[in-house]
Each structure stands twice: as C-alpha cells, then as structure tokens.
Amino acid sequence: MSSRFKRMAPRAAAFAALTSAFLATAVAGLASAQAPAAKPAAAASAPAAAQPPASDALPVPPPPQIAGTAWVLMDAASGNILASHEPDMRVEPASITKVMTSYVIAAEMAGGKVKDTDQVMMTENAWRKGGAATDGSYSGFAVNQTAPLVEMEKGMVVQSGNDAAIALAEHVAGSEDAFAALMNQYAARIGLKNSHFMNPHGLSQENHYSTAHDLALLGRALIHDFPTAYSYNKIKELKVGPITQPNRNLLLWRDSSVDGIKTGHHSKAGYCLMASAQRGDQRLISVVMGSTSEAQRATDSQALLNWGFRFFETHKLYDAGKAIAKQKVWKGQSAEVQLGVAEPLLVTVQRGKYPQLKPSMDVPKTLVAPIKKGQAIGSVKVMLDGKVVAQRPLVALAAVEEGGFFKRLWDEFWMWWESE
C-alpha cells in the first residue's frame, strides 16, 4: 500500500462509517451530474477590456501656473490627484462650504428625515444674518415666509444665498450649531481628514476650515452619492420673486462640459472655485483656493481642466452587473457563481498608457454555498508601472442557494479528497 493511502486510511475509515448508510444512494443520484472539478486557482488574470484606438504616450508637461494659494486637480473616477499645490494646507472654504451643506441635506433626505416638499421658513435670524441687508450673497426669499425646501436649496446653490443656508440648517437640525455638528459627522464619513465646519454658509469664523484636497473629495462625494442635488449646481440663473440672479461660476457659460460646482469669496479666503467637467467617460474636479479675482479663478480652473483632459484619459474596463469571471461553488444548487463589479470600473491614466494596464483577480480558493447576491467575493485590481491604479470588490451577480442533502454530502467528500 502506498504511503499516501496509509496516511489517509484512518480518515477514510471514519468517513466510510459515517456515510455507509446513504453513500450508495448519493453516488447513484449524482454521479451522472457531478464529477470532481479541478481545484480553483486562488488568483487569476481578469479578462482585459477591448483595446481602444492607439494613442501616443506623450510625456506629461507641468500643469499650468495657478494664482491660487492652494489647488488640486482630481480624477473623479478614482479620487486620485493628477496635479496639486499645497493640497493639504488649511484654508477658509468661504461659500464652497455650501457644498457640504447640500451634502448633509441630501443625506438627511435620503434617510427620510426631511423631504424636498417641506416648507422651509426664512426666519428673521436667517434674514438678518444672511439676507439682503448684509454684505454677502442672499437668495431673495422674503422674511417670515416659507418656500419648498428644494427651491430654498436652489437659492443657496445658484445664488449662494447665505440666508437660505441658515434657513435650511434651522429646518434640518433646529439650529446652525446642531447643523454644523451634522456637517462634521458627514465630513468624517466621507473621509475629509483636515476639515472642520462651524456654519452652513462659509462666512469667516474661527475653527472653520478645510483643504483643497478635502474639498475635491467633497465634490466627488456629492456627484457620486447625490446626483440630483449636484444637478442644481449647473443652473445658470434663478428667479426668486422679482429678483433674478446669475450663478457666479463663469465656466458654466464658457465650457459646455462644465456642470458645477461652487464659487466662494470673502476677504480672508480670497476668490475660490470648485469646478467639475465631464467629457465622455472622463470627469475631472478642480479646486482653486485663494485666487486674486473672479476672472482669475475661472481662467485658472479652466486651464487645469483642459490640461487634465489633454494629457489623461479615462477608460471603462468593466460594466456594472456584467460577468467578468466565474468561480466554482461547493455544496450549492448551482455549481458556479458569476462575479462582477457593483459599479462601473473606470481607470484614468496618462494618455497612451492604456495598453500597459494589467488587471488581475484575487478570489478565495474555496467558495461554499449559500452565497448572497451582491456578496463581496475577492477583488479585481488594475496595475500600471507596478502601482495599483484601481481596485474594486468582486461581487456575486446572483445568489447560490444551498444544495440538497446528498449534494452537500457529495461535495463534502470531494472537498475532503482534494484537501490531501
């Protein structure tokens, strides 16, 4: 007898004793439908997407000269920074703060706490602190009167109304201080590591700060998580009563690919602009803080966006919900499960380097039913020049229910056999 069978004899005897009453029935019922499969590999190469037309891999020149004290150009698909200057320096965010306010309102709405049809009161407190009698931007809603939440929010977003921001904060949280606490909780959830908010409008206040990097992450989160709320940012002008006011983002008139996001200005912050544009599958986000004028912030933001679109390209590698691999499943009603990504996998790289991308998968060696639809099973990652440029969970595209008694028994036998 071979050494392998001598080593396995005690285990085999125990297993035979356990299954002798029904193994014959199991074999008869399943032999025709089930055969031992090769052990699945722990890692496999993910199928490559179709190759796009070839393009020259040009060296990337330095980004344009920017007048701001801090700035960032971010790829929206991955969150990677393509270029920056002082990205983590604390700055006063001015009215770009209102993007955080929009995020909180949208999140609370998604949680059922408020509705877009809620009637929001323009309180005397909101009117006195941020209305027409102040030096800042105002919405034009009448004091001690109500307006639907969605209209009040547009007044905050398009016209940068400080009064609307205060009224919304009071409606959502009861007070500005309580709303600021919500802002900081959501900021932490988004991953803003160097931001702290004291008010919903962005007027200068001690301990109210952010960074160009954090603000770009905030814009990315609003675009991804709450596209309806984000869409208000591309409205070019808004009329409230007899007053019509334009959006201060000049790029909305200059570049049809720009659809947001927010301007900001006060004496300590300088002129600021968070902008975003989409061309094809590629979306970029620019943040320019502390610029010298309204015109300069727009010119510099446009230059950053154009530079990014010229020298970087975005490709969709995998569509959401489509199988990119399959894996054997033990003890299930189905013998295998199809794997894919829950959201489209987009990768932004230097123009011309797409053919050098190297996708791969990492999946568990053994999968055992039951498996839920959407359950994370391993990951797919994309490498370029030895670095990970994108990584996403692989998920089950369909559920695999647990198999019957004999199916589970049969698979248990083969799992035991292959474990030796």
| Mean pLDDT, range 172-187, rounded to an integer | 98
| Mean pLDDT, range 394-418, rounded to an integer | 88
- pLDDT of 1 higher than 90: no
pLDDT in tens, 35-67: 333 333 333 344 444 455 444 566 889 999 999
| Mean pLDDT, range 211-226, rounded to an integer | 98
Highest mean pLDDT range out of 9-23, 152-166, 328-342?
152-166
| Mean pLDDT, range 27-33, rounded to an integer | 38
pLDDT at position 408: 86
Amino acid at 60: V
Dihedral of CA atoms 251, 255, 258, 259 in degrees, nearest 10, equals 80
pLDDT at position 15: 44
Enumerate helices (H) and strands (E) in the chain, giving the number of each. Answer: 12, 17
Closest by CA to 230, choosing from 256, 258, 211, 210, is: 258
CA distance 411 to 394: 24
Highest mean pLDDT range out of 6-10, 31-35, 355-359?
355-359
Per the prediction, the chain carries an average pLDDT of 87
| Mean pLDDT, range 284-313, rounded to an integer | 97
CA distance 410 to 414: 7
- pLDDT of 100 higher than 60: yes
Residue 99 contacts residue 215 (beta carbons within 8 Å): yes
Confidence category of residue 420, pLDDT binned at 50, 70, 90: low
pLDDT at position 34: 39
Structure tokens at 326: 């399959």
Structure tokens at 126: 């909101």
The catalytic residues are 95, 98, 160
pLDDT at position 66: 96
| Mean pLDDT, range 252-275, rounded to an integer | 97
Is 0.75 surpassed by the pTM of this model? Answer: yes
- pLDDT of 161 higher than 80: yes
- pLDDT of 343 higher than 60: yes
- pLDDT of 90 higher than 90: yes
Domains of the chain, earliest start first: 10-39+319-419 (2.60.410.10), 70-312 (3.40.710.10)
Of the candidate ranges 38-42, 273-277, 388-392, the one whose mean pLDDT is the lowest: 38-42
pLDDT-above-90 percentage for the chain: 75
pLDDT at position 365: 86
CA 313 to chain centre: 19
Kindly give the interhelix angle for 23-30 and 3-19, rounded to the nearest 10 degrees.
100
Highest mean pLDDT range out of 299-308, 341-350, 358-367, 387-396?
299-308
| Mean pLDDT, range 193-222, rounded to an integer | 98
Confidence category of residue 136, pLDDT binned at 50, 70, 90: confident
- pLDDT of 6 higher than 70: no
| Mean pLDDT, range 103-108, rounded to an integer | 98
| Mean pLDDT, range 351-373, rounded to an integer | 91
Structure tokens at 152: 């009040």
316, with CB counted inside 10 A (0-12, 13-18, 19+), is middle
Write the secondary structure of 37-63 as one string of H (helix), E (strand) and C (coil).
CCCCCCEECCCCCCCCCCCCCCCCCCC
